[in-house]
Structure 1
Amino acid sequence: MYAEVAGFYARQMRRLDEGDAEGWAATFTEDAVCRLSTRLEAMRGREELIAGARAAATAIEAAGELRRHMTGMFEIEERPGGFLHVRANTIVYATAASGASRVHQVCTCTDTLVRGTKGGRELLVKDRWIVVDGT
């Protein structure tokens, strides 16, 4: 199960890092909720997730940076009803056009994952709570 969850986050974060807002949002349920400690309002549903990811990609491009999410240290608990409760840490690196990299932020992410409809093999985020260190 650890390898499956780690693979899910690797694919999900790569989509976000590559600016694939639609592909990233497709890793959430249609009615998912995503809350960040740096935002006043939660993003609800895939359309809001797409809009949020697009806005982030635009801001990152305007800053002349690349961002890379390195997610690990997974704590995985199976819950009744087939849910997975996952807690992980993410370090977000920002790389300037000059090639200089820095830590942009460090986060703790707590997710509820569910099985999708593709034969029960696909994981999807139902609920996400991201706490950015220092907020």
Structure 2
Amino acid sequence: MGSAPTLAELYAEVQLFYARQMQGLDSGKLEAYADTFTEDAEFSHTPGREPARTRAGILADLEDFHKRFEGDPLRRRHWFNMIDIDPQPDGTIISICYALVVKIRPGKAPEIAASCVVHDVLTRAGGELLNKSRRVEYDPAL
């Protein structure tokens, strides 16, 4: 069995996980995005909506959420930054980061649609990182 990763190695792994996860979401690969969650995960991403539970529930929730964008050339980019990780004794990783959601429309300047704090619990399955839970808190408009 190999040694535990250093904090720097773990940090880089979490950054790569987020990069791949969010690029999948932003490119419309909803099933691939849902597959980055555990089978029993919980995902709370929109104020006023109940959290989605289970991987299948997350996929259904995302498909429903994205219906509002059908026929709209809007593209969204999710930028995760200022990531703070805290490895736990049980092997999970508490991750808190800032997220900006940027709207991109043809012929217009990019626009920040939301500023958020993302609270994740990451775990491993088959050696890969997965989201056990995600809670997104939106910053209030000033």
Q: After superposition, give the CA deviation of every residue in 1:8-53 in whole Å (9 maximum; x if it has no partner).
A: 0000000100111110000000000011351331100111211222
Higher-RCO chain (CA-CA 8 Å, sequence separation at least 6) = 1
Aligned residue runs from structure 1 range 9-24, under 5 A: 9-24=18-33
Structure 2, unmatched stretches of 5+, are: 1-9
8 Å CA contact 1:83–1:112 kept in 2: the answer is yes
Counterpart CA distance in 2 for 1:93 and 1:6 is 19
Provide TM-score, normalisation by structure 2: 0.86
Identical residues among aligned pairs (%): 35
Counterpart CA distance in 1 for 2:60 and 2:13 is 28
Moved more, 1-10 or 58-67: 58-67
8 Å CA contact 1:16–1:53 kept in 2: the answer is no
Counterpart CA distance in 1 for 2:94 and 2:85 is 6
Q: Look up the match of 2:5.
A: none
Structure 1, unmatched stretches of 5+, are: none
Q: After superposition, give the CA deviation of every residue in 1:51-92 in whole Å (9 maximum; x if it has no partner).
A: 222233332344430000010111000101101000011100
Q: Look up the match of 2:134.
A: 128
8 Å CA contact 1:72–1:90 kept in 2: the answer is yes
Provide TM-score, normalisation by structure 1: 0.90
Moved more, 58-67 or 43-52: 58-67
Post-superposition offset of 1:127: 1.0
Give the number of the structure whose alpha-carbon radius of gyration is greater. Answer: 2
Q: Look up the match of 2:83.
A: 74
Counterpart CA distance in 1 for 2:115 and 2:81 is 12
Q: Look up the match of 2:66.
A: 57
Moved more, 82-91 or 39-48: 39-48
The letter for the 1-side match of 2:140 is: G
RMSD (Å), alpha carbons: 1.5
Counting matched residue pairs gives 132
Q: Look up the match of 1:3.
A: 12
